Structure 1
Amino acid sequence: MKKLNLLFIGILSVSALNAQDISDALRYSQDEIQGTARFRALSGAFGALGGDMSAVSINPASSAVFAQSHASFTLSNVDTNNDTQYFNGFTTSGESNFDVSQGGAAFVFENRSNSPWRKFTIGVAYDRSNNYDDNWNARGTNPNNQSIDLYFLNYADGKRLDQISALPGESLADAYTDIGNVYGFAHQQAFLGFESYILEPDADDDANTTYFSNLASGTFNHNYSYASTGYNGKISFNMAAQYEDNLYLGLNLNSHFIDFHRSTLLFENNSNAGSIVNSIEFENNLSTAGNGFSFQLGGIFKLSPEFRLGVAFDSPIWYTIEEETSQYLATVRDDGGSNITQVVNPQTINVYPQYKLQTPSKLTGSLAYVFGTQGLLSFDYSRKDYSKTKFKPESDSFFTDQNALIANTLTDASTYRLGGEYKVKQFSFRGGYRFEESPYKDGTTVGDLTGYSLGVGYNFGNTKLDVTFDQSNRTNKTPLYNVGLTDAAVIDRTNSNVTLSLSFNI
């Protein structure tokens, strides 16, 4: 009868196979300053300037500022350093990545007729919009009676025992797979807790829906490791035009792609009197692949020979995303004075239904002052409302709850970028500063970001070589888990980048 019930419910419960949360939504909605060394040297404050391939990613009208066809390629090295505090524990970890971060070309076509449209440009550019290579370690003693058992108890609460346990003679791997296919992610987590002896039912009855923990109250030693790799990038197809002497207009059609892999591992130990389970090892792995589309509209207007005004609109990105997960759980329990190890290793890859994510749109306003051929100052301001991020289809009850959480937790955030450049003969000296507000209403789960940049360039004539160093800092309070064990690690993250670009006229 239980197997028949599983099959029947399976027909009705496909939509329950979800594991997405607010951290996924935010990860793919944010982007970093990426691009040419000159662009990064001004901290990305290029919306009113144009004349740079990475400026096209901010304002598509930028390519129409080129006097002739132009191309650039960029290499960058990113160093990430994390100083992590978890209660009484302090750790430091780092990650380094070297890659091609930008490449593109714009082709200029002059209009030799008497039309007020002076020239047209078409271009294509690749920009890595985010780098996901990261690792950090949270290690310390949790004094708040907070154990990973709360994670499993939370998911088990209200679920029937026969829905979170293996059938007689059924392997744990088969049971884990069947429960996931029929009931979904939450039941799988409860199954892991029950079959590892972390949880016990109040009554040994299939209809039981309440549980208690085999871990006694007290303190718990935690060693939590986070490691991720991957990137988010886009390929832009650009069209722009110059109207008379002072107006530039442009359009970008963007193809986005996601490649993200994450692994977390928790070791928990306790010596609390009365604990049956004294050691837990819990591993989770996630692989994400996605693609999306967006468009951008922009304009640059010369108010005078010195002053330039820019405005750009970034549409939402409409992503289609696929995810796979795998899990491993092992416990050591005291069984009559003997230590017994229980391993729940399904060796199963959970493949979740394809879903859609819509990121928020962004509006950018820019102002620049150009000192003839000697230098310039530039300022960009942009605003993005992260609370408008949405999982789709919105008719899905799980996504409805997640979207409500996003709307209540995230907020609109402003970004300020300031940059300057001064030329001495063939040399150009550059600097910049940026400030990004937290996308969270609490301002601490993800904190404000501050950054600065310094760069130098040399003009060989038809070819330019630029190098830049930039650094940013942000402090996050990251919960170890979104359910149960929600105590946070405080991560002070510093990103340092060295960027080298070669650009030339075609």
Structure 2
Amino acid sequence: MKNLISLILIGFATVQVEAQQIPDALRYAQDDITGSARYRAMGGAFGALGGDLSALNVNPAGSAIFMNNFASISLSNYNQQNKSNYFGTSSRAEESSFDLNQFGGVWVFENYNLDSKWSKLSLAMNYDRTNNLNNSVYSQGYNPTNSVANYFTSYANGIPASVINGNPYDLLTYQEQQAFLGIKGELIESSVGNQYVSAVNPNGNYYQENSVRTMGYNGKIAFNLATEYDKRFYFGVNLNAHFTDYRSSTRFYEDYDDSPGANSSTGVQASQFTNELYVYGSGFSFQLGAIAKITNQLRIGLAYESPTWYNLNEELQQILAVNCPDCNVRQDDFFAGPNTVIFYPTYSLQTPSKYTGSLAYVFGTSGLISVDYSLRDYSNMNFRPSQEFVQANNTINSALDVSNEIRIGAEYRIKKWSLRGGYRFEESPFKDTKTVGNLNSFSTGFGYNFGSIKLDMAYTFAQRENRQGFFTQGLTDPATIQNIQNNISLTVGFEL
């Protein structure tokens, strides 16, 4: 690789832009199966069972199943492997982390008034890390036709050069700022009629690397109230506080050493484009649920989860480094000082609601089997203010679809031991399932009951394939990514 000798650092003032895309919305709309080890071992199929603090994430009526006061805490190891293929070149990246991903408690109040059928009331509070966002993806290969210059021309086309060159930088829109980057970095140049063309070697075979490192989490605290009626019917409600903290570092590198006709003495030789993104915010949702014992063995459940209404803040820094021996690229060509970060005004995101139906059969004290079915219409997501995110919301509506999810769990008890297994299938949220594929997950685990203390362990395997474009426009040739997750969880529970 060449040394990148001319550094272009672009600092942004506070502006409102439509830079958000579908991946940004899905980051907060999709939940992983996290929670307690018992919950994870059984694939999260707890909608008609309850009796586990993480089960409140599926059906808030589940806290009324508890017989006694109970608390639990869970620790998990998250391991993600990403195998990438980009124009026939294979790459691999891996990320592993530990996390205190669940803790909470439930308080059960019996009603000893024999004249009332309302026999029990429960109050619970539970924290779950609903999504661990730590991940690392690396792709490399030779693109036969498309350069990063196409990214910049896709933003620049239609913008008069006088707008880009004649206005203070802090008054430019995001689109105009990207055009400014491409022009000042001499990756693109003006053509006719406010159009722009690539200024790099036109003969293809561009060597490209794309590295994405993310860190952070989505978390939820559920404040729960549930009740038991006639010892057969259970009703519950959750008020949920959501919060997120997410950082992404994306580095794209391109050079032209192997491009036919490459001339090392003139023109752009290589470029590196880095984006540092930080997103943080909070949200609110609520859940309603009911469980009914049809017989002593057969149970059904029904639950509704409202949209989550997020208020989000973003900070962005972009750095473009260019190797060009005879270009006029200089740091003083830029209007803003180095290391300046853009602070976007707070914007809102509404995720889709979710419906879950559940069925469980309990074999006395020897075990159980449970099935949950959920659906969620991702095309209903939207950014707000809506008038400022017209393009992004239209793309969400046209590209996304209803996603169905099946979770199956089973448990077999041998004296104080419990053996568990689970399966989870989640459809792609995209109409084009090649963009993001279906998810398949298998889980297993065991538990031991010491009496007032319970110890549970779980192992979860999940796999999903997707196509990841390095940019959302211009240079969109995708790498095929196979994501594999291997997670281990340990939970300690206490009867209080």
Q: Same fold (TM over 0.5)?
A: yes
Q: CA deviation at 1:127?
A: 0.3
1:419 and 2:401 are equivalent in the alignment: no
Decide whether the 8 Å contact of 2:14 with 2:342 is kept in 1: no
The residue type paired with residue 220 of structure 1 is Y
Measured in 1, the distance between the counterparts of 2:15 and 2:320 equals 25
1:407-446 alignment, distance < 5 Å: 407-446=397-436
Deviations 1:303-332 (A, max 9, x none): 000000001000000000000100011112
Measured in 2, the distance between the counterparts of 1:212 and 1:418 equals 54
2:24 counterpart residue number: 24
1:232 counterpart residue number: 218
Secondary structure, in 3 states, of the residue corresponding to 1:438? Answer: coil
1:94 and 2:84 are equivalent in the alignment: no
Measured in 2, the distance between the counterparts of 1:412 and 1:375 equals 33
Decide whether the 8 Å contact of 1:17 with 1:353 is kept in 2: no
1:483 and 2:484 are equivalent in the alignment: no
Decide whether the 8 Å contact of 2:15 with 2:344 is kept in 1: no
Q: CA deviation at 1:225?
A: 0.4
Decide whether the 8 Å contact of 2:71 with 2:494 is kept in 1: yes
1:302 counterpart residue number: 293
2:196 counterpart residue number: 211
1:294-333 alignment, distance < 5 Å: 294-333=285-324
Decide whether the 8 Å contact of 1:464 with 1:504 is kept in 2: yes
Give the stretch that moved more between structures: 182-191 or 375-384. Answer: 182-191
Measured in 1, the distance between the counterparts of 2:109 and 2:21 equals 47
Secondary structure, in 3 states, of the residue corresponding to 1:277? Answer: coil
Secondary structure, in 3 states, of the residue corresponding to 2:475? Answer: coil
1:262 counterpart residue number: 248
Deviations 1:225-281 (A, max 9, x none): 000000000001000000012100000000000100001101101144267222111
State the structure with bigger RCO (CA 8 A, min sep 6), 1 or 2: 2
Gaps of 5+ in 2: 1-12
Measured in 1, the distance between the counterparts of 2:54 and 2:41 equals 12
1:115-154 alignment, distance < 5 Å: 115-143=116-144, 145-154=145-154
1:310-389 alignment, distance < 5 Å: 310-335=301-326, 346-389=338-381
Measured in 2, the distance between the counterparts of 1:377 and 1:293 equals 32
Give the stretch that moved more between structures: 347-356 or 252-261. Answer: 347-356
Measured in 2, the distance between the counterparts of 1:199 and 1:15 equals 24
2:493 counterpart residue number: 503
Decide whether the 8 Å contact of 2:17 with 2:173 is kept in 1: yes
Decide whether the 8 Å contact of 1:314 with 1:361 is kept in 2: yes
Decide whether the 8 Å contact of 1:17 with 1:183 is kept in 2: no
The residue type paired with residue 216 of structure 1 is N
The residue type paired with residue 426 of structure 2 is E
Tell me the TM-score normalized by structure 1.
0.91
User: Match for 2:274 among 279, 283, 289?
Assistant: 283
Deviations 1:332-378 (A, max 9, x none): 2252xxx8875678422011111000000000000000000000000
Runs of 4+ displaced beyond 3 Å:
13-16, 339-346
1:391 and 2:383 are equivalent in the alignment: yes
The residue type paired with residue 22 of structure 1 is I
Measured in 2, the distance between the counterparts of 1:334 and 1:90 equals 32
Decide whether the 8 Å contact of 1:277 with 1:332 is kept in 2: yes
Measured in 2, the distance between the counterparts of 1:134 and 1:483 equals 23
Measured in 2, the distance between the counterparts of 1:16 and 1:53 equals 41
The residue type paired with residue 146 of structure 1 is N
Decide whether the 8 Å contact of 1:332 with 1:342 is kept in 2: no
Measured in 1, the distance between the counterparts of 2:309 and 2:379 equals 16
Decide whether the 8 Å contact of 1:386 with 1:413 is kept in 2: yes
Measured in 1, the distance between the counterparts of 2:273 and 2:375 equals 39
Q: CA deviation at 1:400?
A: 1.6
Q: CA deviation at 1:160?
A: 1.5
Evaluate the alpha carbon distance shift between residue 341 and residue 182 of structure 1 in structure 2; reply closer, same or farther with a 3 A threshold: closer
The residue type paired with residue 422 of structure 1 is Y
Decide whether the 8 Å contact of 1:124 with 1:236 is kept in 2: yes
Decide whether the 8 Å contact of 2:92 with 2:139 is kept in 1: no
Evaluate the alpha carbon distance shift between residue 422 and residue 265 of structure 1 in structure 2; reply closer, same or farther with a 3 A threshold: same
Gaps of 5+ in 1: 1-12, 168-174
What is the RMSD computed on CA atoms of the aligned residues? 1.7
Measured in 2, the distance between the counterparts of 1:333 and 1:92 equals 31
Measured in 1, the distance between the counterparts of 2:15 and 2:187 equals 28
Deviations 1:368-397 (A, max 9, x none): 00000000000000000000001011132x
The percent of aligned pairs where both chains have the same amino acid is 44
Deviations 1:398-439 (A, max 9, x none): x12211110100000001000100000110000001100000
1:192 counterpart residue number: 181
The residue type paired with residue 265 of structure 1 is R
Measured in 2, the distance between the counterparts of 1:373 and 1:112 equals 26
Decide whether the 8 Å contact of 2:187 with 2:268 is kept in 1: yes
Q: CA deviation at 1:45?
A: 0.4
Decide whether the 8 Å contact of 1:328 with 1:346 is kept in 2: no
Decide whether the 8 Å contact of 2:14 with 2:344 is kept in 1: no
Q: CA deviation at 1:136?
A: 1.1
Q: CA deviation at 1:161?
A: 1.1
Decide whether the 8 Å contact of 2:184 with 2:329 is kept in 1: no
1:183 counterpart residue number: 172
Q: CA deviation at 1:483?
A: 1.0
Tell me the TM-score normalized by structure 2.
0.93
Decide whether the 8 Å contact of 2:164 with 2:172 is kept in 1: no
Decide whether the 8 Å contact of 1:224 with 1:266 is kept in 2: yes
Secondary structure, in 3 states, of the residue corresponding to 2:152? Answer: helix
Aligned residue pairs: how many? Answer: 473
1:71 counterpart residue number: 71
Give the stretch that moved more between structures: 407-416 or 14-23. Answer: 14-23
